Amino acid sequence: MGIVLVGGRIVTAVDSYQADLRIEGEQIVAIGYDLEHPGDERILVDGCLLFPGGIDPHTHFDLPVGNISTADDFESGTKAAILGGTTTILDYATQFRGETLKAATLNWHRKADGRSYTDYGFHMAVTDWNMQVAQEMSMLVLKEGITSFKFYMAYKHTLQVDDESLLQALGQAKECGALVCVHCENGDVVYELVRQARAKGQTTPAYHPLTRPVTAEKEATSRVIALAQIAQAPVYIVHLTSEDALQVVTAAKLRGTQVYAETCPQYLLLNETCYQAEGFNGAKYVLSPPLRSRQDQESLWSGLRTGLLDTIATDHCAFNFVGHKDLGLTDFSLIPNGAPGVETRMGLMYTYGVVPGKISMNQFVNYTSTQAAKLFGLFPRKGTLAPGSDADITVWDPNGDSVLSVETLHQAVDYTPYEGFQQNGQVKHVFLRGRQVVREGQLHESQPRGVYLSRKSLPQKKG
């Protein structure tokens, strides 16, 4: 017995056409017409768009930061994700200092297994690089299907790694077929600018962006690309925010370097004026790198339009305004960094990207699903609508406007940076490996059934 979605428009990264789609078990088995078998369930989706389920390749669920943890854990975060049309997330499992990668992996499985409404995989964020960790990287690639590793060039004395470690890691990643993902900000520069600001008594959230200038992002982006070229390894820049950093990436792509770059809705839709919000409200936008100028926003849109960027992720790292962000009430440098977005990504990118024609519908699919699947070893199982692929399908009703509000979102955090934003269209149904998890916009699943995804390596360019 199967399910046939009848009357919708199939949209992939390359095509858009009217057709029905048949699901059997966990997979799509046919796309075309007259697909119904006796006993099949028929679901009418007239006028709707059928997208491959969204893939968010950058989340932080249940991440401890100092004495607190992120507001969303795997259960609340993935529930919100799937209600927003995302069926797969890749979370940054994090190695804490002194920990082996094996222990960090087990730790993240304990957080996620049996609790995820979406399918999920892990990147591994390495914060304590040494030769044993280097050996373990291959083991994670081969045995755990963790084929991407993150390094921070910022957060001196906690997460930051030095250039020697980064170069070694890139070399090791090349050996074992892994992709290195990098947070690009010069952490020493940020550390010094924060010290200077505090010494002058500059303590409000407005100083957050001033201590993390574009040039610190540009320099780190340029440096890691140079290191990747030396190691002849591919590199993926997470959360790229600025025109300057995009220019560095573009120049490297033109030289033939295997460099990829991700941006996020917050950098496309919000800007530095948010830090002028009344009172302590600017803390809601304390994320790193920080929000930039209007011109940077336009450059990022242009980068998407022209194919210079590769993915749109969220960097969902939610902290409550009350109880978390207010740890930095008298010192902005103590405000936990991050903002929520896993539930709103697809709707915002459709509304502010596709509807005004800033990106095409195919680009929308490419950036929110297909490219992430390709870069992170999930394609063609995920990231497209085709016979043989997992039946991860977001049925999008382009009619009906709504206004985003923390009151109606499902993320377990007490604010959204997109409060009052209009959304055009809405998630109607979502299927995860053939099971209908969202029906008419409501959760239709009594328990989390997401599975862990062991991923393949990214093919590397020769030479």
Interface residues with ligand DUC (CB under 6 A)?
60, 183, 238-239, 288, 315, 317, 337-338
User: Phi and psi dihedrals of 66, rounded to 5?
Assistant: 60, -125
For the CB of residue 337, give the shortest distance to ligand DUC in the complex, in Å.
4
**Rounded distance, CA 116 to CA 417, Å?**
24
With CB under 5 to 8 Å by kind, the binding choice for 133 among Zn ion, ligand DUC, none is none
Closer residue to ligand DUC in complex, CB, 60/208: 60
**Rounded distance, CA 138 to CA 434, Å?**
33
The DSSP 8-state label assigned to residue 160 in this structure reads: B
With CB under 5 to 8 Å by kind, the binding choice for 338 among Zn ion, ligand DUC, none is ligand DUC
Closer residue to Zn ion in complex, CB, 155/321: 155
By the rule CB under 5 A, 217 interacts with Zn ion? no
**Rounded distance, CA 130 to CA 411, Å?**
37
With CB under 5 to 8 Å by kind, the binding choice for 337 among ligand DUC, Zn ion, none is ligand DUC
Residue with tokens 């020493």: 188
For the CB of residue 69, give the shortest distance to ligand DUC in the complex, in Å.
13
**Rounded distance, CA 41 to CA 24, Å?**
10
Question: Sign of torsion, CA 64 225 454 338?
Answer: positive
For the CB of residue 357, give the shortest distance to Zn ion in the complex, in Å.
30
329: amino acid identity, one letter: L
Residues 6+ apart with CB under 8 A from 58: 90, 92, 238, 239, 262, 264, 313, 314, 315, 316
By the rule CB under 5 A, 56 interacts with Zn ion? no
Packing angle of the helix pair 187-199, 214-231 (nearest 10 deg)? 160
By the rule CB under 5 A, 183 interacts with Zn ion? yes
Residue 24: strand pairing partners: 2, 27
Closer residue to Zn ion in complex, CB, 79/123: 123
Least Cα distance to 88 among 455, 388, 463, 457 occurs for 455
Closer residue to ligand DUC in complex, CB, 205/338: 338
For the CB of residue 288, give the shortest distance to ligand DUC in the complex, in Å.
4
Task: Kindly indicate which of the ranges 223-231, 253-261, 266-274, 308-316 contains the residues binding Zn ion, using the contact rule CB under 5 A.
Answer: 308-316
Residue with tokens 């997460």: 159
**Rounded distance, CA 73 to CA 410, Å?**
12
**Rounded distance, CA 179 to CA 202, Å?**
39
Binding test (CB under 5 A) with Zn ion, winner from 91, 243, 310, 315: 315
Task: Kindly indicate which of the ranges 224-232, 315-323, 347-355, 411-419 contains the residues binding Zn ion, using the contact rule CB under 5 A.
Answer: 315-323
| Count of residues engaged in binding Zn ion, rule: CB under 5 A | 2
With CB under 5 to 8 Å by kind, the binding choice for 118 among ligand DUC, Zn ion, none is none
Q: Are 402 and 53 in contact (CB under 8 A)?
A: no
For the CB of residue 437, give the shortest distance to Zn ion in the complex, in Å.
25
For the CB of residue 150, give the shortest distance to ligand DUC in the complex, in Å.
8
User: Phi and psi dihedrals of 143, rounded to 5?
Assistant: -95, -30
> In the complex, which residue's CB is closest to ligand DUC?
288
By the rule CB under 5 A, 115 interacts with Zn ion? no
Closer residue to ligand DUC in complex, CB, 85/290: 290
By the rule CB under 5 A, 262 interacts with Zn ion? no
By the rule CB under 5 A, 324 interacts with Zn ion? no
Closer residue to Zn ion in complex, CB, 183/428: 183
387: amino acid identity, one letter: P
For the CB of residue 38, give the shortest distance to ligand DUC in the complex, in Å.
50
Cα dihedral: 18, 23, 27, 30 (round 10): -50
Using CB under 5 A as the criterion, which residues of the chain lie in contact with Zn ion when the complex forms? 183, 315
